[in-house]
Structure 1
Amino acid sequence: MASRMLLSMPLHAITEVYGEAGLRDRFALELESFPAGERERLERALALAARLHADDRRVREPYLNHLLRVAIRILRYYGIRDVDVITAALLHDAVEDHPDELSGLPADLGHAALTDAAVDELARLFNPRVAELVRSVTNPEYDPERDRNEQYRMHVAESLDRDPWARVIKVSDFTDNGVGVIHTTYEKAYKSAHKYRALVPKLRELVGRPDTPLSIEAKDHILDQLDLAEERFAAILDG
Structure 2
Amino acid sequence: MEFPAYLATMPMHAITEIHGEPGLLARFRLEVEAFDEPARARLTEALDLAADLHRDDRRVREPYLNHLLRVAIRLMHHYQVRDVDVIVAALLHDAVEDHPAELAALAPDGSAAGTDVTAAALVALSARFGARVARLVGAVTNPAFDPERDRNAQYRDHVAASLESEPWARVIKVSDFTDNGVGVIHTVGPKVARSAAKYRPLVPVFRDLIARPDTPLSPPVKQHIFAQLDLAEERFSAILDQPDPARRP
* TM-score interval for Structure 1 and Structure 2 normalised by the shorter chain: over 0.9
Aligned with 1:115 (options 118, 129, 135)? 118
CA-based RMSD of the aligned residues comes to 1.0
Structure 1 residue matching 2:164: 3-state secondary structure: helix
Counterpart position of 2:216: 213
- Paired residue for 2:143? 140
Deviations 1:100-138 (A, max 9, x none): 011119xxxxxx811100001000011000000000000
- CA distances 1:45-71 after superposition (whole Å, capped 9, x unpaired): 000000000000000000000000000
1:15 paired residue number: 16
Matched residues in 1 for 2:235 and 2:116: separation? 38
Q: Aligned-pair distance for 1:4?
A: 3.2
Higher relative contact order (Cα pairs below 8 Å, separated by 6+ residues): 1
Whose helix fraction is larger, Structure 1's or Structure 2's?
Answer: 1
**Match status 1:194 vs 2:197:** yes
Query: CA shift at 1:3, angstroms?
Result: 5.6
For structure 2, the residue ranges without an aligned partner over 5 or more in a row are 107-114, 243-249
Question: What one-letter code is carried by the residue in structure 2 that aligns with 1:152?
Answer: Y
Larger Rg: 2
**Equivalent of 1:130, from 119, 133, 150?**
133
Normalising by structure 1, report the TM-score: 0.96
Residue of structure 1 in register with 2:165 after alignment? 162
Residue matched to 1:93? 94
Q: Does residue 1:6 correspond to 2:21, yes or no? A: no
| In 2: Cα distance, 1:22 partner to 1:168 partner | 24
Q: Which consecutive residues of structure 1, in runs of 5 or more, have no partner in the other structure? A: 106-111
In 1: Cα distance, 2:208 partner to 2:4 partner: 36
What is the identity percentage for the equivalent residue pairs of Structure 1 and Structure 2?
66
| Alpha-carbon offset, residue 188 of structure 1 | 1.1
Give the letter aligned to residue 228 of structure 1.
L
The within-5 A match list for 1:28-67 is 28-67=29-68
Q: How many residues align?
A: 233
Q: Secondary structure at the match of 1:213?
A: coil
Q: Runs of 4 or more off by more than 3 Å in structure 1?
A: 1-4
The equivalent of 2:73 in structure 1 is: 72
